[in-house]
């Protein structure tokens, strides 16, 4: 069943009561999500335009789930890196204008994109890896990612990031786009995670030959979720572009072999997942 779109989706986000100890997530497709806990509403990696196709890339496989100009309720927006399907000027500009109290947490490269989209400097934060910050009832810690290189400046700002997000008594790990490497494992190992949002679209020579940078394979995502002792794995980054995805059945084949009792989901754009422990 297709998820909700535009005003119907926004009405569901606004109208849903999320008591302490629960967290609501709505998929926006690719790596994008809306999170709500009590009154806090956060957007992560929202890609709500057709800018990739406009610039000569592949078309979307599904419609934009929300017009960013309709998003008036955001308290915080987090983007993991500067690629258009994660930090997109035609999304960030209208969204931040429509939600004038929202703050943007992004990389130094993402900050340049946001500046170009008209976002004021005082509304942007570039976090250092490992630094825990609290905004609008939500705590977040930037974690290392590598897409494919691990690139960190002298101040501890990473070009590629994930986030450990604590909201309403629930902890979410959104890895961003990444492969596995020691610094990532060291940063997240031993931290309790309720929900792991991990890419599963994999990578291979033929995609890389066409400048398509890949991510974790499904089996790697499951092994990482096991290391995190995550209660739920949600596979992401596998639905938007036909040229950069794998059969989602691979995730569940690997799950059966590696962690058959791990809760695991794939969400449709606009679909709600309510975590209640």
Contact 63, 5 (CB under 8 A): yes
d(CA 143, CA 203): 22
CA-nearest of 110, 98, 19 to 66 is: 98
φ/ψ region of 270 (left if φ > 0, alpha if ψ in -120 to 50, else beta) reads: left
CB within 8 Å of 29: residues ≥ 6 apart? 47, 60, 62, 65, 239, 240, 269
* CA distance between the termini of the chain: 25
E strands, the chain, are 23-29, 32-37, 40-44, 76-78, 103-105, 124-125, 132-135, 138-144, 161-167, 170-174, 195-199, 232-236, 263-265, 272-275
> Dihedral sign, CA of 1, 65, 136, 177?
positive
Helix axes 249-258 and 218-228, enclosed angle (nearest 10): 50
Contacts of 191 (CB under 8 A, 6+ apart): 164, 171, 173, 228
pTM equals: 0.97
CATH, range 6-275:
3.60.15.10
pLDDT by position in tens, the chain (length 277): 468 899 999 999 999 999 999 999 999 999 999 999 999 999 999 999 999 999 999 999 999 999 999 999 999 999 999 999 999 999 999 999 999 999 999 999 999 999 999 999 999 999 999 999 999 999 999 999 999 999 999 999 999 999 999 999 999 999 999 999 999 999 999 889 999 999 999 999 999 999 999 999 999 999 999 999 999 999 999 999 999 999 999 999 999 999 999 999 999 999 999 999 8
User: Using N-to-C axis directions, what is the helix angle for 108-116 and 89-98, rounded to 10°?
Assistant: 70
User: How many helices (H) and strands (E) would you count in the chain?
Assistant: 8, 14
Beta bridge partners of 163: 142, 174
DSSP annotation string for 216-250: --HHHHHHHHHHHT-SEEEEES-SS-TTS---THH
What is the reported pLDDT for 2?
62
Would you kindly state where each structural domain of the chain is located, as residue ranges?
6-275
What's the gap between Cα 127 and its chain centre? 16
């Amino acid at each position: 069943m297709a998820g909700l779109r535009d005003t119907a989706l926004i009405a569901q986000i606004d109208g849903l009561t999320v008591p302490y100890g629960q967290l609501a997530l709505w998929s926006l497709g690719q790596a994008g999500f809306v999170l709500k806990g009590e009154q806090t509403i956060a957007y992560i990696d929202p890609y709500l335009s057709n800018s990739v196709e406009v610039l000569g890339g592949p078309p979307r496989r599904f419609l934009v789930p929300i017009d960013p100009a309709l998003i008036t309720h955001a308290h915080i927006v987090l983007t993991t890196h500067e690629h258009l399907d994660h930090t997109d000027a035609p999304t960030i500009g209208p969204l931040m204008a429509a939600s004038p109290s929202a703050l943007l947490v992004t990389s130094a490269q993402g900050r340049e994109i946001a500046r170009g989209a008209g976002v004021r400097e005082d509304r942007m934060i570039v976090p250092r890896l490992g630094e825990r910050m609290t905004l609008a009832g939500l705590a977040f810690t930037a974690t290392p990612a590598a897409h494919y290189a691990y690139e960190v400046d002298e101040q501890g700002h990473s070009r590629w990031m994930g986030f450990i997000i604590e909201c309403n008594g629930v902890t979410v790990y959104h890895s961003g786009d990444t492969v596995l490497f020691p610094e990532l494992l060291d940063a997240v190992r031993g931290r309790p995670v309720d929900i792991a949002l991990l890419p599963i679209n994999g990578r291979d020579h033929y995609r890389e030959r066409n400048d398509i940078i890949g991510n974790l394979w499904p089996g790697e995502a499951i092994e990482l979720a096991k290391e995190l002792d995550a209660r739920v794995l949600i596979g992401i980054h596998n639905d938007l572009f036909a040229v950069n995805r794998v059969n989602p059945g691979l995730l569940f084949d690997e799950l059966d072999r590696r962690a058959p009792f791990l809760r695991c989901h794939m969400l449709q754009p606009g679909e709600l997942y309510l975590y209640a422990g």
